[in-house]
Amino acid sequence: MGIIAIVGRPNVGKSSIFNRLLGRREAIVDDFPGVTRDRLYGEMAWDKHNFYIVDTGGIMGENDEAFPDIASQIERQVRHAVEESDGVVFIIDGKDGVTVMDEEIAALLRKGGRKVIVAVNKLDNPAKLDASYEAASLGFDKVLPVSAEHNFNMGELLEEMVALLPDEGSFEESEDIPVAIVGRPNVGKSSLFNALIKEERSLVSDVPGTTRDVVDSIVEIDGTRFRFLDTAGLRRKARVNTDIEYYSTVRTYQAIDKCRVALVMMDASELVTEQDKRLVGHVLERGKGLVLVVNKWDLAPKEEKIGDRIRKLLKDELPFASHAPLVFLSALTKRGMSRLNQHILAVDENRKRRISTSELIRLTREILAFDRMPGSGGRYLKISFCTQANGVPPAFVFFVNDRELVSKSFERRLENILRKMDDFSGSPIRLFFRNKQEKPGLF
């Protein structure tokens, strides 16, 4: 999908516009300059277009004495956002008019070669519209007066933004396989990411929570292109006590939405925490492929059959993910990494797997032969037929006499039967039950 970056000096309303466009509070909005330090991605849908908008940190001058350490970091973030974007929305403050810093940013954007829309913010009444004419002096064709606070001209801004977008693609149909590396803090996600791409693109540190942004890189392995997404570590909600940590969590869940396969990493010395369980459940709930990765295997106890015991532990603690492949590795020493890409490829293929109609007819007959079908009040479930829906992950629709009679245990039984019919390892399976009178297309 296309990417539109939102840039500008501090405190001009970039995050307010970002939130107004998304229709929900995603970016941190504060009057304190420099609050937004990282790139923050949001997914947009407008006029049949799907794209991401990126809220960046405010650009500060190199000689800003109040923020000597933050200034260069933020400017680098903005440069990266511009480099990866298809177009830019340049925000200036309509109350302040064009400043020297605005002119410096405009020069930077012209060098970047991206199409630019100048949005003059905080123009909430006609008397202030003259400020938008001054913005024309920055040398860009598109200048639009807006007000994030009063929702003025936001629709027009979106129309201009989608005009900057390239032809849309799809992660599900793309040639490269998007793979999200997720897990709790300090389990070795960045180390694995760097080992996979063979360069130190992601900062590796023993301090938990170093990675706050989603970082991605495309790597070709044995003729297949993988897009690896490194993410911030997910903490329990009770421990998410700062805005930056909270929004890092949001970005991690967005990365899961973008991927086709997720590598859920765990530490060999601290396996299957409650957060691990929630994260695995979230990956499957979002319909993504799943590979379980036990990292720091070089530090695991040197005990006989330790691998078998860990497999049993994971199966007992994660029964809903017992179908997922399990990889023991050490990102530090590269031990066990050789087959990781094979597991990713297999899971990605399993998400696309289909069962023939004849096999589903046979399945329906076998189900009807059960000793006891679920029921209530003397009425029992009857299945007329079953069909597989289009798309991924695999979804099966059962047409029944009364879907209210379907029990959770019966659903689990059906899923187990389907998994025995073909290889769906690492892929979630969706089951839908429809009353016979409902049309097949109703999902």
φ and ψ at 190, to 5 degrees?
-65, -35
Mean per-residue pLDDT of the chain = 80
Q: Is 391 a residue whose pLDDT tops 80?
A: yes
* pLDDT at residue 86, as a whole number: 83
How far are the Cα atoms of 49, 236, 320 from residue 428, in angstroms, in the given order? 28, 24, 9
Domain 177-350 has CATH 3.40.50.300: yes
17: helix, strand or coil: helix
% of residues, the chain, pLDDT over 90: 30
Question: Residues near 43 by Cβ (< 8 Å), separated by ≥ 6?
Answer: 1, 50, 51, 52, 254, 257
Q: Which position has the higher pLDDT, 200 or 4?
A: 4
Q: At how many degrees (to 10) do helices 14-22 and 154-162 cross?
A: 80
Candidate CATH numbers 3.90.1150.10, 3.40.50.300, 3.10.20.30, 3.30.365.10; the one for domain 2-162: 3.40.50.300
Is residue 66 within 8 A of residue 47, CB to CB? The reply is: no
Q: What contacts 24+ positions apart, CB below 8 Å, involve 366-374? A: 366/417, 367/414, 367/417, 373/410, 374/405, 374/406, 374/407, 374/409, 374/410
Q: Quick one: pLDDT band at residue 232, thresholds 50, 70, 90?
A: low
Q: Give the whole-angstrom CA distance, residue 135 versus residue 347.
A: 52
Q: Give the whole-angstrom CA distance, residue 135 versus residue 151.
A: 20
Q: Quick one: pLDDT band at residue 60, thresholds 50, 70, 90?
A: low
> Could you tell me the CATH superfamily of domain 357-435?
K homology (KH) domain (3.30.300.20)
* Fold match, 177-350 / 357-435: no
φ and ψ at 251, to 5 degrees?
-65, -35
Q: Indicate the domain borders of the chain.
A: 2-162, 177-350, 357-435
* pLDDT at residue 266, as a whole number: 93
234: helix, strand or coil: coil
Q: Is 18 a residue whose pLDDT tops 80?
A: yes
Q: Is 211 a residue whose pLDDT tops 80?
A: no
Give the pLDDT mean for 103-129.
82
- ω into residue 126 within 30 of 0, thus cis? no
Q: What is the pLDDT of residues 284-322, one digit of tens each?
A: 998 999 999 999 888 777 777 888 999 999 999 999 999
Give the pLDDT mean for 131-149.
86
Which tokens is 388 given?
Answer: 């597989």
Of these ranges, 69-78, 255-264, 358-367, 426-435, the one predicted with the greatest mean pLDDT is: 426-435
Give the pLDDT mean for 56-70.
54
* pLDDT at residue 246, as a whole number: 38
Q: Is the pTM value of this prediction over 0.75?
A: no
